[in-house]
Amino acid sequence: MAELAITARGLTKQYGAVTALDGIDLAVSSGTVYALLGPNGAGKTTTINILTTLTRPTTGEATVCGHDVLRQADQVRACIGVTFQDIVLDPDLTGREVLDIHGRLYRQPGALRRRRLAELVELVQLGDAIDRRVRTYSGGMKRRLELARGLMTEPRVLFLDEPTQGLDPQNRVGIWGYIRELNRVRGLTLLLTTHYMDEAEALASQVGIVDRGRLVAEGTPGELVATLGADVIRVRGQGEQAHFVAEVARLPFVVRVETDAADAMVLVYVDSGSRRLVEVVGAASGNGFLVEDVTLARPSLGDVFLHHTGRALRD
Amino acid sequence: MYATFVIWNKHMTKFLRSTEELLGLALQSVLWVVLFGVGMRGMIAEVDGRDYMSYILPGIIALSALGGAVGGGMVLLDERLRGILKEYLAAPIPRLSILLGSATSTATKALIQATIMLVVGILMGARLAPNPLGWLASLLLIAIFAVGFSGLALAVAAVSRSIAGYHGMIFLFNLPLLFASNALYPLAVLPGWMLAIVLLNPTTYLIDAVRALAFGTEVTLPLPLSVAVVCLFAAGCTWLALRLFRRSISA
């Protein structure tokens, strides 16, 4: 087992009567990309805030790079980079000043700052824009500048809170590319939060599904999906769902049946979708359930989320 | 505390870049001297044996120091509301250096303001006392007072939820500071109830001391008392800023 870059045991956080975290355990190996996947308000940002020493947990403990986040906060701070959920940049400074001031806060010598700056401008492709004021940047450029700032001090662990929120598809794929490169080429450990399933699927070697302050499932995207069955037949329809669900559940090849009330959708997990499709749809006939739409797919992380929380994860 | 210097330096860079803020602050103070001072001078030849311009200049200097401090507090507030504070908080720097960076930049702005005012006032005919040691002592007192204002502005900035809320709270300090003090009129002409309020205003003590030290007016309050009040004011406000700032980052 590789060395652990991040550990957490029993993290809880109370804000008055509100429970933001309800006991989170984490073990993230060095060199992995770990994605915390969950809806807004699930506790992802609170987890990042505790791991980056911004917030104290109500109970529980955590380490980053082997240092305790409470007792050795400065050692933790020195070995991590962070980008926050909101864009956190001074509009009146140039990109170069933002990076330079960041390096100075960490007491990087001038020669090192100039070298890092040149490397990072190259990596995130900011080019000549680096000498323009941040207020002239597009959303994608701001995100890229923030990523560069997080990397300025050559952290061992990088935390990214919703790194592509609000970006157009082209910029999202661009950020994904940088994240993959940082992990593969430089062996950087990344912990990112996201409420986009495709983002977790595209980037993460480990996914933790968070809901209402708890980690409800954890594993590689492949493992998480495999527990649900080989294929999923999604049946959307009108009328009496219960009979249909009971009928389908009785079929021998059905691994599991789930419903998503909000979408009037029934999800039937089977061993082999294309061979069982006809029988599944046939089960609907004559019991008051009118099938409107049927799709056949490999289960996704979205289905995993629905399975563990009883609710669909919406973007 | 290298981080304090980095943050101070960053704030000053932003300050020198925001031309509107610079112009606005400078003009506001200059207008006071030029319009109010010159206008009143036509009516009031002298107060306590001094020309009126020399008489009101210390008060206007105090007012412009407040203006500078308000601008400095805005920077902390802006960084708090934008979340830029989180960049500092995630960095391996002492928490105190974050507040000190803001406090030093705020006090610097307040002092720059005060100095501009002094120069404009002298150009407009205020006459300094002959002893340069008195000028230096006055500047030092104004600097201490500026630290106090900065503390006040930062304390308000640490708890305000919006820019409008901040300005609203600061405005509460702004007017009484000038009118409920001896900035524009001598203590001797005030009725008893107003005198009581004026004597609670630390600005009164600063103005009395600066008048005596820099402009050669007779003191109306004991000088050691004035110095003590100014120092206490600065210490109290700094303490308040520290407390409210600690509370705001631990939330």
pLDDT of residue A196: 87
Indicate the burial class of B199 (C-beta count within 10 angstroms; 0-12, 13-18, 19 or more). Answer: middle
Cross-chain Cβ contact B14/A93 below 8 Å? yes
Cross-chain Cβ contact B92/A149 below 8 Å? no
> Phi, psi at residue A70, to the nearest 5°?
-95, -50
Say whether pLDDT at A95 is over 50: yes
For chain A, the structural domain boundaries read 4-220, 229-298
Q: What is A4-220's CATH superfamily? A: P-loop containing nucleotide triphosphate hydrolases (3.40.50.300)
Each residue's pLDDT tens digit, A277-298: 888 888 877 777 888 888 888 8
Q: In terms of CA atoms, which chain B residue is nearest residue A13? A: B251
Each residue's pLDDT tens digit, B89-145: 999 999 889 988 998 998 888 888 888 888 888 888 788 888 889 888 988 898 898
A96 vs A231, higher pLDDT: A96
Is A52 touching B (CB cutoff 8 A)?
Answer: yes
State which of A110-114, B63-67, B177-181 shows the largest mean pLDDT: A110-114
CA distance A311 to A262: 8
Say whether pLDDT at B88 is over 90: yes
For A130, A234, A312, B146, B202, the CA distances from B150, given in Å and listed in that order, are 33, 63, 51, 6, 14
CA distance A162 to A3: 26
Cross-chain Cβ contact B92/A52 below 8 Å? no
Q: In terms of CA atoms, which chain A residue is nearest residue B82? A: A88
Residues of B in contact with A82 (CB under 8 A): 86, 90
CA distance B236 to B145: 11
A7 CA: distance to closest CA in chain B (Å): 18
For the ranges A152-166, A176-190, B13-27, the lowest mean pLDDT is seen at B13-27
Helix (H) or strand (E) segment spanning residue A207: strand A206-211
**Which of B79, B92, B250 comes nearest A106 by C-beta?**
B92
The secondary structure of A52-121 as a DSSP string is TTSS--SEEEEEETTEETTTTHHHHHHHEEEE-SS----TTSBHHHHHHHHHHHTT--HHHHHHHHHHHH
State which of B9-13, B33-37, B214-218 shows the largest mean pLDDT: B9-13
CA atoms within 13 A on the CB side of A5: 20
Say whether pLDDT at B32 is over 90: no
> Is B84 within 8 Å of B10 (Cβ atoms)?
no
For A188, B2, B117, the CA distances from B106, given in Å and listed in that order, are 39, 17, 17
CA distance B34 to B55: 14
The CATH code of the domain at A229-298 is: 3.30.70.100
pLDDT of residue A73: 93
Each residue's pLDDT tens digit, A16-37: 889 999 999 999 999 999 999 9
pLDDT class for A1, splitting at 50, 70, 90? very low
CA-based torsion, B125, B131, B136, B140: positive or negative = negative
Is A202 touching B (CB cutoff 8 A)?
Answer: no
Residues 6+ apart with CB under 8 A from A112: A103
pLDDT of residue A82: 95
Q: pLDDT exceeding 90 applies to what percent of chain A?
A: 53
CA distance A265 to A289: 11
> Phi, psi at residue B46, to the nearest 5°?
-155, 155
> What is the overall mean pLDDT for chain B?
86
Say whether pLDDT at A314 is over 70: no
Each residue's pLDDT tens digit, A199-227: 998 899 999 999 999 999 899 988 888 87
Say whether pLDDT at A56 is over 80: yes
> Is A232 within 8 Å of A303 (Cβ atoms)?
yes
* Closest alpha carbon to A57 in A67, A70, A68: A70
Number of residues that make up chain A: 315
Say whether pLDDT at B36 is over 80: no
Say whether pLDDT at B251 is over 70: no
CA distance A267 to A261: 11
For the ranges A7-21, A208-222, B172-186, the lowest mean pLDDT is seen at B172-186
